[in-house]
Structure 1
Amino acid sequence: MEKKTYYIAVDLGPNAGEIHEQAHDFDAVYDFEIKATPQEIKELEHLFSEIAEEDLDTFIQAHLPYKNKERQAEHNYDDRLEEVYRMIYRLGTEETKTRMKESGMII
C-alpha cells in the first residue's frame, strides 16, 4: 500500500495526538512529518487513544493515597508515549528523524 504524508502533533492529555493529511496555516503547529500507510495511521491513532486512557488513569491515581498501582499507571503512560515516539521515528521523514535525534528523543 502506498504511503502518504501526514503531519503529527503530539498533544498530551485527554485529546492526545492529532494527525492531519495537510499542514494548514490555521491549524495547531505540527511536531513531526511522517510517511505512512492507512494501516500505520490506524496503529498510531490506537496508541494515541491508549495514551489518553493512561492519562486519565494517572490523573485519578494521583488523587488517591500512594499505592503501587499509581506508579504502574505512570509506567504504562510512559511506555505508550515511548511507543508513539518510536513509531513516529520509524515512519518519519529524514528531517523528522534528524530533529528527533538532535533533541534526544531517540538514542
Structure 2
Amino acid sequence: MGVENGKKIYYVAVANGEISQNSTSSSWDYKIEATDEEVTKLREYFDQIYSSDWKGFYRAHTPYLEYHYDRENDAIDQTNIQVYKMIYELGDEEAKAHIKEQGIISNIEDQA
C-alpha cells in the first residue's frame, strides 16, 4: 500500500518502540506516513531510548543521584521529544490531535 513520494503507512507503538505496516499485528498508538529513511530515523530514536533506559536501570542503585541530575534520564527525555516531534510531523490528523491533547506539543514547539 504505497503513498505518494515514496511514503508508506506505518503504525507506531511508543511504549515498546514498535513500528509496523500491519495495523492488526499488535496494538498501536499513532498512524504515520513515512519514507524508509524516516522510519529508520524513528527506529534509531527508539534504540537510543532503549539503550539509555538500560543505563538508567543499572544506575538506579545510586540513590543519592536525583532524576534531574541524571544524564541517562536527560537523554531519554530529549529523545522522547524527538520521537513525538517526528510522529507529529508524519502523523495523521488523529495523531497530531492526540499529541496536542496530551500537552506534548508544547515541548515539541519549545525544541523547534
TM beyond 0.5: yes
1:67: Cα distance to partner? 4.4
Partner amino acid, structure 1, of 2:17: G
1:64: Cα distance to partner? 2.5
Correspondence 1:85 to 2:84 = yes
Alignment root-mean-square deviation, CA: 1.8
Greater CA drift, 40-49 or 90-99? 90-99
* Pairing 1:18-29 to 2, within 5 Å after superposition: 18-24=18-24, 27-29=25-27
CA distance in 2, matches of 1:60, 1:23: 34
CA distance in 1, matches of 2:61, 2:36: 38
TM-score normalised to structure 2 length: 0.81
- SS of 2:33 mapped into structure 1: strand
CA distance in 1, matches of 2:72, 2:99: 26
Deviations 1:69-93 (CA, angstroms, capped at 9, x unpaired): x611111111111111111111111
User: Can you give the 5+ residue segments of structure 2 that lack an aligned partner in the other structure?
Assistant: 107-112
CA distance in 2, matches of 1:52, 1:37: 23
The higher-RCO structure (CA 8 Å, 6+ apart) is 1
Kindly tell me the number of residue pairs found equivalent between the two proteins.
Answer: 101
CA distance in 2, matches of 1:19, 1:105: 20
As a proportion of its length, which structure holds more helix?
A: 2
* Pairing 1:8-23 to 2, within 5 Å after superposition: 8-11=12-15, 16-23=16-23
TM-score normalised to structure 1 length: 0.85
User: Can you give the 5+ residue segments of structure 1 that lack an aligned partner in the other structure?
Assistant: none
Deviations 1:33-70 (CA, angstroms, capped at 9, x unpaired): 000000000000000000000000111111125348x6
- SS of 1:7 mapped into structure 2: strand
Equivalence for 2:104: 105
